[in-house]
Amino acid sequence: MFSYLLSLILGAVHLLLGIGTPQKFPPPLTAAEEREAFAAKARGDDAAREKLILHNLRLVAHIVRKYYGAAKNAEDLVSIGTIGLIKAVDTFNPANGARFATYAAKCIQNEILMHFRAQKKLSAEVSINETIDVDRDGNPLTYIDVIATEDNVEEEVDKAIKSTRVRRLVTTVLDAREREIISLRYGLTGKPPLTQREVAELLHISRSYVSRIEKGALETLREHC
């Protein structure tokens, strides 16, 4: 499956360079198929994760073709954009109600923007108005064009990655009681976070016991972070 994924990524590059046809890409998933795939991925199904990546590769191609079609490094941008897609699949939370395509597009664009930012940092002196390429319509593309963005997607993705890691640790390093209390205290079950007093009343235990368990659980999580 992974080798097939690599071949499709290369197919995306060929499509951008005018080789091949859109039929090289698997068709987009239906809303129901997408929900099912994310549910399976949440259960640890790696095949579902790869399926979500494969069936959204055309989104990477679309973004690169639309905004950077005339770029000299289009091949690199496809690879960079695919990294953004993978991050999107790994951090997307269907419970938030957002469309995955919208979220993924931001992650893909953000990954490409970070690439341009890194290029800018490598240059000792560079003007933000310096032309670094041209868009598909032949218009000059400057650093300020690719750096300027109102959405701080980078922070959102970083926060989502850290959140996913913590959730994984909660399910793997904590015992049942610790996991239950931490989930209730910090809203990991999809419900609003509860105070220690509310958790104590819900579980019919003392508030001091909740506090003690929570403190120990947080220390365990810090040790594994």
Look up residue 178 and give its two tokens: 């610790």
pLDDT at 12 (0 to 100): 46
pLDDT at 209 (0 to 100): 92
Q: Tens digit of pLDDT for each residue in 38-71?
A: 999 998 898 999 999 989 988 888 888 877 766 6
Q: Does 148 have pLDDT greater than 70?
A: no
Region 174-224: CATH code: 1.10.10.10
Lowest-pLDDT choice from 6-10, 91-95, 97-101: 6-10
125 by Cβ neighbours in 10 Å (0-12 / 13-18 / 19+) ranks as: exposed
* Highest mean pLDDT, choosing among 61-70, 105-114, 119-128: 105-114
pLDDT at 2 (0 to 100): 42
**pTM score, two decimals?**
0.49
Q: Where are the domains of the chain?
A: 2-150, 174-224
Q: Which residue has the higher pLDDT, 103 or 134?
A: 103
Query: Can you list the alpha helix ranges (DSSP code H) found in 17-123?
Result: 31-42, 46-54, 57-68, 74-91, 100-122
Q: Does 96 have pLDDT greater than 70?
A: yes
Instruction: Taking residues 133-153, report their average pLDDT.
Output: 54
Do the domains 2-150 and 174-224 sit in the same CATH topology, yes or no?
no
Q: Does 200 have pLDDT greater than 70?
A: yes
List phi, psi (to 5°) of 205: -135, 170
Torsion, Cα 40 168 184 204, to 10 degrees, reads 100
* Highest mean pLDDT, choosing among 136-140, 157-161, 173-177: 173-177
The CA distance from 89 to 160, in Å, is 11
The Cα-based distances of 205 to 81, 83, 196 in angstroms read 50, 46, 10
pLDDT at 161 (0 to 100): 57
Percent of the residues in the chain that have a pLDDT greater than 70, as a whole number:
66
Percent of the residues in the chain that have a pLDDT greater than 90, as a whole number:
18
CATH 1.10.10 for the 2-150 domain, yes or no? no
Q: Does 104 have pLDDT greater than 70?
A: yes
Instruction: Taking residues 118-133, report their average pLDDT.
Output: 55
